Amino acid sequence: MPSNNNFNSYKFSLLSSLYIAIGSYFVINYNDLSISIESVLVSFIIFVLSFLILQLRLRKLFFERVRQIYKDLEFETDSLIQTSVIDSDINSFAKDLGEFVKLKRTEIETLKKEDLYRKEFVGNVAHELKTPLFSVQGYISNLLDGAMDDKELLKKYLKRAEKSVDRLTYIIKDLDLITQLESSTLKLEVTSFDIVKLANEIIEDLEISASKKNIKIIINKKYDNEILVEADRNRIEQVITNLITNSINYGSEKGTTEISFESKEEKIIVKVNDNGEGITEENMPRLFQRFFRVDISRSRSQGGSGLGLAIVKHIIDAHNENIYVQSTVGIGSEFSFSLKKSKVL
C-alpha cells in the first residue's frame, strides 16, 4: 500500500497531467470543439507522457534530496537510490531513517550516562584527593606556625603528613593503573604458575594486618599437587591481595577469610570467602565502580585509594576472564574469578 507521501505525489502528477491533457485538447481543437477520436487519443498520450515526466522529475528531485540527507548522515546511498520502484525506495529510506534515529537515541542516552559518570568520577577524585591534601597542608601550616619547635609535635605531625602522602600515592598509582588497563596500554606478562603457592605468599604478607582485627586468613584445605594457571602472576597477586584486604576491612572481629580453588573443565575458579557484614542488593551493581564504598567512614579510616575492586575487575577483564560476587547481609560475601588452566605438565 503506497505511503501518504507517494499518494500525494501520484495525486499531484495525475491532476497536473489531467490539466495538461485537457489544455492540449482545447488547443488542438481550437477551431472545432467537437469531440473526435484522434483528439482524445492525442490528449490521452499527452496525459500519459506528462504523468511519466512529472513522476520522473519528482523522483529525481526526491532522491537528490535523499542522497544529500544520506550524505549528511554518512550513509552509503547507491543501493537505495538505484532501486526500481518508487514506493519501495521511499519505504526503504523511511526504514533506514527510523533505524538511524533509534541508533542516535541510544547513542545520546549512552552519552548522557557517560557524562553523568564522568561528573561523578571527577567529583569523587576531587574529594579523595582533597582530604589527604588538606591534612598535609594543615600539618605543615601548624609546624610553620611554631609547632616545629616542639619535638614531640614535630614528629607526630610529620608522621601524620607522611600517612596522608602515602594515601595520595596509592590513589595516583591506582588511577594510573586503571587508565592503562582501560586504554589497553598495559601489557600482561602471561606465565604458568602455581596459584596455591601464590595464595600462601599473599597470606603471609597480610597476616599482620589481619591479626589487628583478629581475622584468620586460611586456605580451605591442603592441596598436595600444584594448581597451575596461565596468567600475569603480578596482576593476579594484586587481585587476590585486594580481595583479601577488602575482606579484612569489612570483615567481622575474630572472623575468617577463606581461600579455595575449584577445577572446572579448562578453568580454575579462585574463591575468597569472608563472614563479614555482607553487601546489600542495592550496592551490588556499583560494587566495581571507581571510588564506590559500601561503608565510607570505615573504608576511609582503613586507608587505601578506594579503587581496589575497580582494579580487580579491570585486571580480570584484561585476562578475558570473569569475576562473580555472592553476598548475604549479616552472613558474608564470596568473590570468585576464573583463570585459564595451564597446559604445562
3-state DSSP assignment of residue 327: strand
Assess contact for 290 and 121: CB atoms under 8 A: yes
Start and end residues for every CATH 3.30.565.10 domain found in the chain: 191-341
Residues 202 and 237: their CA atoms lie apart, in Å, by 7
pLDDT at 285: 77
pLDDT at 81: 43
Query: Which amino acid is present at 34?
Result: S
54's grid cell: 512529472
**How many residues are recorded in the chain?**
345
Residue 324 confidence class, pLDDT cut points 50, 70, 90: very high
pLDDT at 164: 85
HSE, side-chain direction, 13 A CA sphere, residue 140: 10
Assess contact for 52 and 14: CB atoms under 8 A: no
Which residue has cell 566495581? 288
Instruction: Provide the total of helices (H) and of strands (E) in the chain, helices listed first.
Output: 9, 7
Q: Is the dihedral of CA 203, 208, 212, 216 positive or negative?
A: positive
Using the predicted structure, report yes or no on whether residue 235 has a pLDDT greater than 50.
Answer: yes
HSE, side-chain direction, 13 A CA sphere, residue 75: 18
Residues 228 and 53: their CA atoms lie apart, in Å, by 78
What kind of architecture, by CATH, is found in domain 105-182?
Answer: Orthogonal Bundle (1.10)
Q: Which of 23, 56, 52 is nearest to 39 (CA)?
A: 23
Where does residue 104 rank: exposed (0-12), middle (13-18), buried (19+ CB within 10 A)? Answer: exposed
Residues 296 and 293: their CA atoms lie apart, in Å, by 5
Using the predicted structure, report yes or no on whether residue 213 has a pLDDT greater than 90.
Answer: no
Where does residue 70 rank: exposed (0-12), middle (13-18), buried (19+ CB within 10 A)? Answer: buried
The mean pLDDT value for 137-159 works out to: 87
Start and end residues for every CATH 1.10.287.130 domain found in the chain: 105-182
The mean pLDDT value for 43-54 works out to: 76
Residues 1 and 191: their CA atoms lie apart, in Å, by 65
pLDDT at 1: 43
Residue 229 confidence class, pLDDT cut points 50, 70, 90: very high
Assess contact for 232 and 319: CB atoms under 8 A: yes
Q: Which of 157, 162, 159 is nearest to 141 (CA)?
A: 157
pTM of the entire predicted model: 0.60
Q: How far is CA 103 from CA 70, 74, 82, 110, in A?
A: 15, 14, 25, 11
In the chain, % helix, strand, coil (3-state, to 5) comes to 60, 15, 25
Using the predicted structure, report yes or no on whether residue 326 has a pLDDT greater than 80.
Answer: yes
CATH 3.30.565.10 for domain 191-341: yes
pLDDT at 271: 95
1's grid cell: 500500500
Q: Which of 209, 125, 109 is nearest to 168 (CA)?
A: 125
The mean pLDDT value for 12-40 works out to: 65
Using the predicted structure, report yes or no on whether residue 26 has a pLDDT greater than 50.
Answer: yes
In the predicted model, what is the mean pLDDT of the chain? 78
Residues 223 and 211: their CA atoms lie apart, in Å, by 24
Q: Is the dihedral of CA 327, 202, 180, 344 positive or negative?
A: negative
